[in-house]
Amino acid sequence: MQSGYRQQPPSYHSRPPGPPQGNSLLKIRTNCFKVTQIPAATYTLYDAFSPDIPKSAWRKRAELVRHLQKAVRPDVFSPQFLYDGAAIGFAHPTLCRKLGVMRMFRVRLRDNAEPKPDDKGAVEIKFKQSSAEPISPTETNAVILEGHDSPRRSSILNFLQLVLRHASNNDHPNNGKAYFPPPPPENPENRKKKIKYLQSIDNTFLELRRGVFHSVRPSMGQMIIVVDTVVAAFYQRGRMLDAMLAFFNVRRGDLRALSELSRLQLDNAGKFFRSVFIREEKGGVSGGRRTIKGFDRHGAHYQFTNSDGQEVTIEQHYRQVHNIILRYPKLPGVIVRITGDRKEILPMELCIIEPNQLFKKALPEVATREMVRFSTLGPEEKMVEIQRVSGYYQASESLVSAGMQVSRQPMDVDATQMQPPLIEFRGPSPMFNKPVRDGKWNVVGKKLCRTTEGCHWGVINLAPTKLHSQQIQQHCMAFQKCATDLGVALGIPIHMQQVDPQSDLLEVLDKFMFVVKQKIGSEESYQEMLGKRKFFILCFLEEEASRPRATLKFWGDTQTGVATQCVRLNKLPKHHNPGSVSQYWNNVVLKVNPRLGGENSSVSQSSAFDKTFRNGGLPMIVGADVGHPSPGVRKPSVASLVYNIDHSALTYNALTALQGPRQEVIADLRAMMRAAIVDLQTRNRNAVTHIIFYRDGVSEGEYDQVKSIEIADIKNAINDVWNSSPNIQEGGFPKPKLTFIVVGKRHHTLLFPSNPAGGDRTGNCPAGVVVNTGITQPTPDIRDFYLLSHSAIIGTSRSSHYVVLLNEVFPGDTRILEELSYALCHVYAKATRSVSIPAPVYCAIISIGTEDILLTLSLYLPDADLVCGRESFHFAPGVEDSLRANDSGTTVSGQTVPFDLNAWKAAFKSRNLRLHGMYFL
């Protein structure tokens, strides 16, 4: 029976497969160090010893045990007990004989001797031997090195991580996985490389510190340790008064400004400093450690009832009880306890911020930019630092006690240098195609593959005081010329308007389009223009214009379906530099053309690409991710799914859904995949034959959960479509095969040239290096590889880690997936460089928020992330602020209020149906 679907005819991109790829083999140096001796001692497990402190306060629990071992009873705890605040710890045989089956100790942080039972603040810590079998070298060897299956595999790995990290985490501030030692003594090597280890950040009272990440990882037949340098922000140690002056950028002599802060300003300061540890200094004596809960504008004039039942101010209390005359009683007070309506407040001038406190909140913009600059190390500098810190393992107390030994030399592994594909542009002969060199190519002198004919455009200037009409004309002419040179035929703008950024932008935009309609001539022509995506608005914005931009995108993306392209004033090129002018506006054209339904370029001479897209059938390439709110922010996570809508995987569409905060598994994946499959099949009048699903943002500990839930959701979505489609049933089409790949960017495994002569101009490995042996996972049912698909501009290149959880499309052959993933890194529409993640999962770094920093770092994330970062554009102006304000009171009577996801979903506006394809670029 003839079905409503048909075979897809070859596109004009299709051509016979190119010649065999000239891949070559080479050696690559890594930041992995081989464990030459696993722990030689048998460790006994202890549990049920946790002090009477919630498990969520694991840092407090670990601190108490650390103080017990190092200060109170070092005579007992030698070798030390391996513990990180969790429910289980491990004891060396020597320590096990001292602890016995059960032993109890008392500890108080301010004492170096064991306190008495009735001493205030004393905590009992009970060590009770677990019924679980001890962890022996024989079991460790069998499970980790020989790959035997065991339900204790995760426990053994946790034990090995503790052996590695215990000493460094005990001696230095840490976040569990990385520790931050003091700067090393200066030496000629450091001076030569000019490596900075500490840097304060102006106007924040924060400082950046360089630290060390290290982690045990099993590999095929061996165990390795990954060592990397990291950077984290810390609160500076110092006076609370100085911290507030820095936070509000107030001169030291202008303390009056602090006493005049509004409630909103104090709330912002409270969010920044909340949970920070301080001590009160009275007469040169430090009190106990307290935690900041917020700030009170009444300061030392705050009244409370003292022990005699009298109403006194804090100022009076300190004068009468402590004989202290406060110098600045009008300054805000530091709240350290809230009990019902009562507050315990300390005078700000007496408070000292404790040292070594990690800043765990979202960084201010100025700190983010400093973090970027401070973090950047070239590959040679990076390797020097890695080798320096790895030398400390020879003297690590926990490693020495366990008998665990680590090689001093980083591992070299076999790698493959893949040849890049050829970039295709429009033209009658191969001379119009462009080879990729050093991970990049140029569009100058080329014509984009497909463009929209008869396109109109308008211009809005939202920076009228800084950008005058004549300058706008010059920029528009430059843009128009670049568009024409690339094959996008644009006339002069149909309408141009200067707009006050403080005006009602939604009303201005509606009036703007009314004028456009009048100039088009008829309602029918106007609707046809919008329906066929033959109109867009170029909008000039000031440097700081997040709200006008969000309003513009809300209007275009959800209300009207009009494509909009924003350019920022501070990024506009100078007209006296023709090269920068053409480069800038060419890049803008590369964004606009796909939004209007065009295609910029394609790839050829990639056998894997040909097998996937040019060998019959209808392939589906999917990128998916979940974007989470910043730390401390109560708002939904955003799940996004990006999928191709053409036969050649050059054009993509996107689906977005809100879900609970910090939820990683995609809640609505079944419905989203069902809609995507139907959309792709309807557009191409054919049945999907195979699906390659790239999943971003999944940590190693979530593999099993994602594998069991999300793969099942995709399979169920396929069943839903196949069971409900008459065309599928009439045509007898088989269900598509599925390959599911997790793409990781936030790992710490690095690749370096083993010979500096083999690096690119920055000293990094050249683009196209892939490693699938030596440092990959040992589990036989999961294949993985590291692919360095891009060339760094500065700093050290970071490869992406691909973990294949299911491979039905190319069973048993990850080589094709390596080549396909590399080819897909060359079809990201608005880039003239290969990117570090395949096109459907590429995006800008949301935490940094600006693509210029993204390109500088060459740290590329997925398009799904790009869509996730646009969730604010789906809310009407002011609605998101209102939702967050309504949810700001997250506790009532000490209980956390459930997050109201339905309120957010109700306010979330769907994408306008006129916008499809790559509107999100």
Give the per-residue pLDDT at 428. Answer: 64
Higher local confidence (pLDDT), 147 or 706? 706
Q: Which residues contact 864 (CB under 8 A, 6 or more apart)?
A: 623, 624, 625, 640, 641, 642, 654, 696, 840, 841, 843
For residue 850, what pLDDT is reported? 29
**How large a percentage of the chain has pLDDT more than 90?**
63
Query: How sure is the predictor about 121, in pLDDT bands with cuts at 50, 70 and 90?
Result: confident
**pLDDT for 476:** 95
The yes-or-no verdict on residue 13 having pLDDT over 80 is: no
The answer to whether 225 and 268 are in contact (CB under 8 A) is no
The per-residue pLDDT for 519 is: 95
SS (H, E, C) 510-532: HHHHHHHHHHHCCHHHHHHHHHC
Output the pLDDT for position 896. 60
Pairing relation of β-strands 751-753 and 24-37? Answer: antiparallel
pLDDT for 892 equals 46
848: pLDDT strictly greater than 50 = no
Q: Which residue has the higher pLDDT, 427 or 366?
A: 366
What would the pLDDT profile of 680-739 be if each residue is shown by its tens digit? 999 999 999 999 999 988 888 888 899 999 999 999 999 999 999 998 988 899 999 999
Task: Using the predicted structure, report yes or no on whether residue 651 has a pLDDT greater than 70.
Answer: yes
Given a cut of 90, whether residue 31 has pLDDT beyond it is: yes
Q: What is the DSSP letter of 802?
A: E
**For residue 19, is pLDDT > 50?**
no
Does the structure show a pLDDT above 60 at 236? yes
Q: Which range, of 343-347, 512-516, 575-579, 653-657, averages the lowest pLDDT? A: 575-579
Residue 440 DSSP SS3: strand
* Alpha helices (runs of H) in 218-285, residue ranges in sequence order: 240-247, 256-259, 263-273
> Cα–Cα distance between 809 and 178 in angstroms, integer?
39
Asked if residues 823 and 421 have their Cβ atoms less than 8 Å apart, the reply is yes
| Integer Cα distance of 490 and 483 in angstroms | 7
pLDDT at 338: 93
Rg, the chain, Cα only:
31
Compute the average pLDDT of residues 888-896: 51
Percent of residues, the chain, with pLDDT higher than 70: 91
Residue 872 pLDDT > 80: yes
Per-residue pLDDT reduced to its tens digit, 253-302: 788 899 999 999 999 999 999 999 999 999 888 888 999 999 999 999 99
Tokens read off for 387: 């080798």
- At 192 the pLDDT is 54
Tell me: pLDDT of 2 over 70.
no
Q: What pLDDT, on a 0 to 100 scale, did the predictor assign at position 430?
A: 56
Residues 502-523 have pLDDT tens digits of 899 999 999 999 999 999 999 9
Residue 187: predicted pLDDT: 66
From residue 621, give the alpha-carbon distance in Å to each of 651, 696, 737, 785, 821: 11, 13, 12, 19, 11
Structure tokens at 104: 């109890």
pLDDT above 70: residue 193: no
Task: Compute the Cα dihedral for 39, 41, 46, 51 and give only its sign.
Answer: negative
- Cα of 627 vs its chain's centroid, Å: 8
Residue 309 has pLDDT above 90, yes or no: no
Residue 98 has pLDDT above 70, yes or no: yes
Residue 13 in 3-state DSSP?
coil
What integer pLDDT is reported at residue 530 of this predicted model?
93
652-682 pLDDT per residue, tens: 888 889 999 989 899 999 999 999 999 999 9
Are the C-beta atoms of 824 and 621 separated by less than 8 Å?
Answer: yes
Nearest to 141 by CA among 217, 32, 221, 214: 221
Mean pLDDT of the chain: 88
| Whether 47 contacts 130, CB under 8 Å | yes
Q: What is the pLDDT of residue 321?
A: 92
- Please report which confidence band the pLDDT of residue 750 belongs to, taking 50, 70 and 90 as the band edges: very high
Instruction: State the pLDDT confidence band at 51, using cuts at 50, 70 and 90.
Output: low
Q: pLDDT tens for residues 787-821? A: 999 998 889 999 999 999 999 999 988 999 999 99
Write out pLDDT tens, residues 74-84. 999 999 999 98
Residue 21 pLDDT level (bands cut at 50, 70, 90): low
Closest CA to 666 of 690, 640, 647, 642: 640
Contact 381, 193 (CB under 8 A): yes
